[in-house]
Every structure is written in C-alpha cells, then in structure tokens.
Structure 1
C-alpha cells in the first residue's frame, strides 16, 4: 500500500512538473516571437524586453543573436557585448561572431581590444579582405600604425576597389605624418567613390597638413555641396577660416550652419571663438553660453560636447 501511494504521488508530481515546464516553454516561444515581430516593425526597444525575458526562461543561441541585433538597433552596443561573449563561448570557432564583436568594440571606443578577434579571423581566412581591414582598424586603435599600414597594403592587394581600405590607410599615413602617401590614398578613395563625403573631408585635412589651405577649403566646400548638413565640414571649414583670420567669413558660415540646425552646439562654440577674435566679446559670451546650455542638455544622450579650451585662452572670461 505504501509503495502504491508513493508511486501515485510521484506520478502526480512529475505530471505537475511537466505542466510547469510546458508552460515555461510556451511562454518562451511567445516572448521570442513577439520580439521578432517587434523587430520587424522597428520596435527594437520592445524587442529587447521580449528577448531578455525569453532568455531568463531558456538560453537559446538564436534568441541571443536576435537580442544582440536589437541592442545594436537601440544604439546600446555595450549591452550587446556580454550577450555576444556568451555566444562566442558556445561557438568559439564562429568567425562571424568574432568579427561582430570587433565591430561592437569599435563602437564602444575599445577598438584596441579587437586585435585578438581580428587576428583569429585573418588566420582562419587570409583571403578575407574584411577581416584584414578590421585588423588594421584595431591595430590603429592600439597605436600600432606600421602594422595597420601593412595590413591595409595586403587588403588592397586582395581587393583593389576597396575604397574604405584606401581611406583608412590614408588616415594611418596621416597619423604617421606621411602626408604625400596619405594624399595618394585619399585620391584613390575619391576615384573609387566620388560621392563619398568622408574622402573629401580627409583629403582636406591632409591638404591642410601639407600647408595647402585653399585646396583644403575647396574639399570642405565640396562636402557641403554633397551634403549641406555635414557638421564636420562646417567645423573644419570654419576653423580654417578662423586660422586665416577671415573672421567675418567664419561667422557667416556658422550662421548658415545654425540656420539649418539650431541645436548644433559646436557651431555656437566656434562662432563664439570667431566673434571673440573679431572683437565682439558680448556676442562671443552669448554664443558660448548657448553652446554650454545645449551641451548640458545633450549630455545624457552621450552627445559630444564642444571644446572650450581655445575660448578660455582667448580671454572671453
């Protein structure tokens, strides 16, 4: 009799446990597919919640992959990295995961940490130009410019029309103070991608480094022709005009920039510098105050704040 009762109760407990497990798996499926639907309608924030709850119920590689994508879509790469680290522990030889982690490390300003992942990817497939490109990018972040340049030379040998590789090597050569080599690579990038704003911006910076300010300003203006809202072009051109003591022209340029985007904090800061050097102390103080106010408002969003050091040296305060 005792054995019969024990068997009866054990059977009921197993059935109850099985029902709970089925309910949990059903809940997991609902959360997972709700998250997938949320991604399809561009609700990545809701997708993150769904995938996170689903993974509390069950570790699932596919769901983890979806969660990483959702974090990238919500501009939270730092939250994606721990999930990706777990995935790499599950599949340590997955080169695609290693390169994805490298991308996320670049996004979080930790590019030097991507060197081992990129090295493994290159060793696994030496003919992969993307892996070589990312390794060069990681080497540059680590301050190893010579290694970065060598990597990129191999990359453009593998893929002669890789405009981004020429562009990155131009950046590296500029880091190494090799202006002529940098200029040649920037020109190659422009020939391959004549509508690429970054190529003209870089060539302008290189020309400025070589002392050809007129040509540099021409490149910055070319960028503004391609994209009238390019903030870097406004800042570089305005800074060049200030350097050449063309203060009225610089002020007019930043007026134009601020007409298009009145939240452009760095434009206020640079216009303040131009006004201060042009003798308009009151206008400079007003612009600097606006720049500070906008920077404070944007700080929570992680926006870059203007550098006020030059203005302090100029004697506004």
Structure 2
C-alpha cells in the first residue's frame, strides 16, 4: 500500500524527481491509515524480537493514528499478556472484540488472560466462543477441557478433549488429558490407550508415563505399572512421588525390601514427606523390623499429628516390641482420627479403658 501510493503521486515526474520525492517523504506525512499500518508492522516485528515494551509503544502510536484498528488492540493485548499485564490485556481484547466480534483470536487471548487472573468461569466462556468461531483450532477445545477437568466435570472435559484431538490428531497434551479424564471416569483401559498414544506422539512427555503407571496399578497390572515407574525413574531421578508410587507397587507385589529402598529414596529427596515415612514403616513391619517401623511411624506422626494410618502402624510396631500400653494409645488415637479399625485392634489386644 505504501509503495503504491508513492508511485501514484510520482506519475509525470522525471526519474530524478521521483527519487527525490521518495527520499523526502516523512512518516508524519502519511495518511493516518497508512501510518497506523506502518507502526503496527513495526510493533509486530518488535514483538517477534521479544522487545515487548518497544512493541507496546508502536501499538500505542498506531491506535492514536487509527482508533478503530482492531488488530492493533489485539496485538497490544497479546504483548501485554507476555508482560503479565493481564487486566490491561483484557481491556484491549475487549476493544478488539467490540471492533471485530467475528474473529476467534481475541476471544482465545482474553480467555488466557482471564484464566491468568483466576477468572475461570469467564475464561471457559471465552474458550467456548473461540471454539465456536473456529472449530478446527484445537487449543480452544483443549484449554476449555482443562478448566472443566479442574472443576471436576470430567465428562464435559473428555468431550472437549475429543474435539481437540479431532482438530489436531497430533496434539499429545490433548491425548494425555483425555486419558486423565478417562481415568477419573473409571474408563481405565481407554485411559491407558490414550496415555500410550500421547507417549507415541511425544516420548519425552514423562507425566504420561507416570500417569499410565498409576492407571495400570489401579487396573491391577502391577507388572506393567512397575515397568512404567522404572522407565520414568531411569529418566528422572528427582521425583519423590515416583519413588513412593513404585515403592507402593513393590509393596503390593510382596517385594518389601524393594519397597523400603524406594521409600528411602523418597524421604532422601523430600524429608518432610510423611506419606513415604509411614509407607516405609509399613514395609518394615512386613520385614519384622519393628524398631525401624516404630521410628518411621513416629517420624510421620511428627510431620502430621493427624495421620491416622501412622498411629495404626506405630501401634502394631509397639505391640511387637512388647509395649502394649503405648500400642493401645496409638490404636485409640487412630480410631479417634477416623480409622475405625483402630478400635478393633485395641479390643482384640485386650486394651482396657483409659
């Protein structure tokens, strides 16, 4: 547009005069629409260079020249989002939508900004509008599905992930999150298949490996779960939860020494991990190492004084260490915290009333 205008005004001039005319044109002499476009393009270039503050200045000037420039509002909003200026970004997206309500991008961008502001319901609505306007844009479906998953609406989340996958069959995160929705809906074989697909598309998507392991364990495939946990831990050794879950799987298989090893790695990584301390206590009970079981259960209780299962395990250890009164106290405490089996153990062991 800029070159066409200059060419038109130079008609009838000599070549030298035409060249001189080009050299002396100033940006301020451009018509407002062209000036706005030039400043807008400069802002986009600076955005792509991650010079966000400079890009904002150019978009400001573009809008001063052309106040109804929807794309400038949209791109200034996107730039503000990158700067984490979420509320001003929302305001710019509002203007872009007002000027151009039929374009999906501003709705999607506003949804992202509102989600960052913690306005989940409003974000969900905007993702829906973006998906309505452009049904083949997978992220709109995916992010709305994620919000629905977070609020526990797993069937609606699955439906959105279905649509995301339909729009983009190579969208590994959509396969992963649909698997998680399937898991919550107790569709375990389907969940395992979806986690497997996610891993085939993105082998380094390690959460899929960890979640597939947990799903296999829940489905009773302890061997498959153990393999997945081991594959995960061969690539990432700093996850206490992964060691704890593999330890629990080994415990369920009857490999109590292996379980102790994994729980030990978990507490080495996360010393305040009460769950791992209590699980190791349970493994030591199976190995008949009652002193260590008592110590680990006590550690768990020290970290969480309301941990009913830890009192139960310490009661077992103390019974075997010939400390019946202390065992009775622990079982009663477990029952007081809601673990009724504590009352049963106390009664069966002849614990008298306090």
> One fold, TM greater than 0.5?
yes
Residue number in structure 1 paired with 2:207: 164
- Residues 61-97 of structure 1: per-residue CA shift (max 9 Å, x gap): 56664443232xxxxxxxx442233213421245334
Does residue 122 of structure 2 align to residue 96 of structure 1?
Answer: no
2:245 to 202, 213, 229: 202
2:309 to 253, 256, 270: 270
Which is bigger in relative contact order (C-alpha 8 A, separation at least 6)? 1
Residue number in structure 2 paired with 1:149: 192
Residue number in structure 2 paired with 1:137: 180
Could you tell me which runs of 5 or more consecutive residues in structure 1 were left unpaired when the two chains were aligned: 1-32, 72-79, 293-306
Give the TM-score normalised by structure 2: 0.59
Residue number in structure 2 paired with 1:284: 330
2:345 to 311, 314, 317: 314
Larger CA Rg, structure 1 vs 2: 2
Q: Secondary structure at the match of 1:126?
A: coil
Report the alpha carbon displacement of residue 130 of structure 1 after superposing the two structures with TM.
Answer: 1.0
2:297 to 254, 276, 279: 254
Moved over 4 A (4+): 58-65, 242-247, 285-289
Instruction: Please say if residues 128 and 144 of structure 2, whose CA atoms lie closer than 8 Å, have aligned partners that are also in contact.
Output: no
Kindly tell me: are residues 266 and 245 of structure 1, through their superposed partners in 2, closer, same or farther at Cα, counting changes over 3 Å? farther
Residue number in structure 1 paired with 2:117: 70
Report the alpha carbon displacement of residue 271 of structure 1 after superposing the two structures with TM.
Answer: 3.7
Two-structure CA RMSD over aligned residues (Å): 3.7
Aligned residue pair count: 247
CA distance in 1, matches of 2:123, 2:249: 38
CA distance in 2, matches of 1:96, 1:122: 10
Give the TM-score normalised by structure 1: 0.65
- Residues 274-301 of structure 1: per-residue CA shift (max 9 Å, x gap): 3443222563278559x85xxxxxxxxx
CA distance in 2, matches of 1:97, 1:247: 55
Kindly tell me: are residues 310 and 246 of structure 1, through their superposed partners in 2, closer, same or farther at Cα, counting changes over 3 Å? farther
CA distance in 2, matches of 1:70, 1:235: 38
Does residue 133 of structure 2 align to residue 86 of structure 1?
Answer: no
Kindly tell me: are residues 310 and 243 of structure 1, through their superposed partners in 2, closer, same or farther at Cα, counting changes over 3 Å? farther
